[in-house]
A and B are shown apart, each in its own frame.
Chain A
């Protein structure tokens, strides 16, 4: 084919420009570390990236929910443990007070300690998570849920508790409301009796008259039912603790699943988007070499002219 001089020039130049574009693209990839930046470079890949990034954002949020839940359930677990300790001490003191040889003075000392324990129990019921939330306030957890009144502590919180999402369609309640933990405890004789009243029962028994044998036997019956009530309370608290514990165990499982998923999502994202440096750098070198070749070919071809020989 007959080749015209401008055509020769343009095709040589086009080769150089093409190689330059390839070098620029490869260089851009190597310096940014990603295979593509816009959907126009890889529409299917971009669709995957968007879906993966959204999934990662959701995973991160679920992870944050797990952390929040663990912190709040942990605080509740601690409070339930302390309440159990208080009841155990109440039980010890009740047994100690319920001996025939104990002096009235000693019983009064015991009663004083029991009163303190009861106040401690109210304090536990008003446990805060340290950032202004009362653990047992339900969804009114901005103020102390239990206030001391003439008929014992009364509950101002709600029976609703918050739940947080821990997966698609799965949620977990953050804690237990104060009424369920301290008030709504089934008694052996039916109905409910709250923990504070149960401790008060033991205090009353400790301070009861034991001067006559009739009074003493009455007092023993009082202690017996008081101890039973305390045992019921201890059992109630340990059931709750077990439930909190199982929720914490679920959180561990959820967290490890989330971590696994997170790793998987990240590695998929990296596979889709991140650059294979070894491959890219060798491609960059290849294109650079091609560019050099094209440049050298241009110089050589353009140097060829019959006019060079016309002197």
Chain B
């Protein structure tokens, strides 16, 4: 009977524990990362007196936490990937909208600029058309500036978000270390709720940066970042920090123990932010800058071949953005590097790293690490020439010194219109030709073509006199044989004379007079819209811009597609994890009934034991 009482009370305790845990499960139905708990109970062996083996009731061993570590780690990994794509995707979508939307994109203003030049060509002396073209040029320069500003803004935002992420990582690492301590102190009886809390923190950590975990014998968990840096070792935390980028002051690197680890980090929001910077924002700025540099250089070159409305030789319309060089802050030598543009058709827009390796210089593409060969000696007379760039060196470099060459990354932001005077458009050609009215032959002279605008005598008035139908002299120079269609070149220009001139016929080449409404150079300026100069003569400016827009869009689409997939994968993992660990209220309701009935029955067992005892007492009282 004493046994029965014991059995009853053990059943009562087990049922109470079951009710407690059911209540605990119901209470935590909405708790993230909670794993449902069960009573771990087993039957108790009874006393074996009289060789009659009666059981001894039930014993509660503890709390069972229903959890699969493998599914948890999958969830951590999938959550990390989703967070990466989320961070990448939101920046990609903004960059895409910026480059695509007609109110912020380049294409419309580029078309307007060239349309403005065509208008100047159709009425070169009208101030109104020139004013309109000037407005279009200003609009174009402004648009380059605003696009650069917006994209740089996204870049600055990446830095801000990296700083926030690093702070959050350090907080989370600290909390995990504390939980490690508590869990280790608990010894063998692992506290289920603390394990869940720690899992949740690891999951939160993984949304910031990719992590891997290693469980220790004492129950604590070591956490490493995707780059292999220890974040939490038992109770110890290694905090991450931020430092200035080795080359670009103002841009942040993430450091661990004072060493920059940015390049090694992947996964989570940090991975996404860095991916966005590397695969989207930087390339977009570089390609946009390349269009800016090409546009400014091409327009300026044609400008100098013509005459403005004042009759002066055209000058640069745009300030050609200068290529930037960043010396590593760790450099110990005195070397400095100059960077200029050469053949623009070869310009890639990429950034490069120039490193001194014990006397020799090595050039690599910054984003891929590809080693590039170049020509030249690096002197100003014979610069290193590679991919449309001219690199000059001065001073003495120490071995290991390095420089980041950034030819076009910031170019779009420094493209400026250099004039506010509508007369500045060099619409007229520099030279005109004419035939004497007294000519008797049928000879016709073409418009002079400027071959070399730098010749000092370019605009000197020149007379070509035919001494016979088959020979001419220039000024009082020697007689030169002539056949119809022959080109005549002098002082940097060239003309063709067709038809049949007669002896005594004269043709002259002279500077275009002031006030001319000639439009040859305006046509040449407008024709730049169709000139395929970029990418080795394959793309026009507009096509290069379209490629940039399309590439950015394709990246944005790819990321958004990947994100949709990652959401599905994560939902799947979450479902599988919840199938094991999640609380089901119907199940708990059923358990509630089960344990309630067990409790009632156990109480009945005790009551029965008590009645039996009373019966025995009553029976023995007499």
- A residues adjacent to B (C-beta < 8 A): 1-7, 10-11, 14, 37-44, 46-47, 50-51, 53-54, 57-58, 60-61, 64-65, 68, 131-133, 137, 139-143, 155, 158-160, 162-165, 168, 171, 179, 183-184, 190-192, 305-307, 310
Contact = CB atoms under 8 A, between A and B. Distances in A.
A184 B552 CA distance: 61
Interface in B547-603: 547, 549-554, 556-557, 560, 571, 574-575, 578-586, 589-590, 592-593
Contacts of B517: 133, 137, 139-142, 162
B300 to A, nearest CB: 22
B578 A4 contact: yes
B191 to A, nearest CB: 22
A3 B585 CA distance: 10
Interface stretch (B43-51, B89-97, B143-151, B219-227): B89-97
B107 A53 contact: yes
Q: A42, A50, A137: which has the most chain B beta carbons within 10 Å?
A: A50
A184 B114 CA distance: 37
Contacts of A141: 125, 517
A61 B549 contact: no
B579 A3 contact: yes
Nearest to A309: B589
Interface stretch (B196-204, B233-241, B427-435, B469-477): B427-435
B101 A38 contact: yes
B263 to A, nearest CB: 27
Contact of A46 (B108, B549, B581): B549
Nearest to B523: A165
B431 to A, nearest CB: 10
B250 interface: no
Contacts of B582: 3-7
A5 B115 contact: no
A6 B29 contact: yes
B557 A40 contact: yes
A137 B122 CA distance: 15
Contacts of A6: 29-30, 578, 582-583
Interface string B471-513: 0000000000000000000000000000000000000000011
Q: A43, A65, A160: which has the most chain B beta carbons within 10 Å?
A: A160
B603 to A, nearest CB: 20
Given A11-B571, A43-B554, A58 B529 contact: yes
A53 B111 contact: yes
B518 A160 contact: yes
A43 B101 CA distance: 13
Contact of B557 (A43, A137, A139, A160): A43
A133 to B, nearest CB: 7
Given A139-B432, A159-B434, A310-B589, A38 B556 contact: yes
Interface string B108-144: 1001101100110111111000000000000000000
Nearest to A154: B437
A164 B122 contact: yes
A204 B37 CA distance: 127
Interface in B417-455: 428, 432-435, 437-440, 447
A4 B586 contact: no
B82 interface: no
B202 to A, nearest CB: 19
A64 B119 contact: yes
A83 B143 CA distance: 52
Contacts of A137: 517
A256 B275 CA distance: 51
A46 B100 contact: yes
B332 interface: no
24 contacts: A4-B36, A4-B583, A5-B582, A5-B584, A5-B586, A6-B578, A6-B583, A10-B571, A38-B97, A38-B101, A39-B96, A39-B553, A39-B554, A39-B556, A40-B557, A54-B107, A54-B111, A61-B115, A139-B518, A139-B519, A142-B515, A158-B432, A162-B121, A164-B121
Contacts of B585: 5, 305-307
Given A5-B29, A305-B589, A50 B107 contact: yes
B526 interface: yes
A184 B519 CA distance: 24
A192 B440 CA distance: 7
Given A38-B556, A162-B517, 6 more contacts: A2-B580, A47-B547, A50-B546, A50-B549, A54-B107, A142-B517
A37 B102 CA distance: 9
Interface string B14-37: 000000000000000110000010
Contacts of A50: 107, 542, 545-546, 549-550
Contacts of A140: 513, 515-517
A192 B122 contact: no
Contact of A183 (B99, B126, B437, B545): B437
B216 interface: no
B546 A38 contact: no
B531 to A, nearest CB: 11
Contact of A10 (B433, B437, B574): B574
Contacts of B112: 57
A133 B516 CA distance: 11
Nearest to B434: A159
A54 B579 CA distance: 56
Contacts of B580: 2
Contact of B579 (A7, A14, A60, A158): A7
B42 interface: no
Given A39-B99, A158-B432, A1 B111 contact: no
A306 B586 contact: yes
B530 interface: yes
Contact of B530 (A139, A168, A190): A168
A164 B526 CA distance: 11
A54 B124 CA distance: 23
Contact of B553 (A7, A40, A64): A40
Contacts of A168: 530
B93 A40 contact: yes
Contacts of B428: 139
Contacts of B592: 310
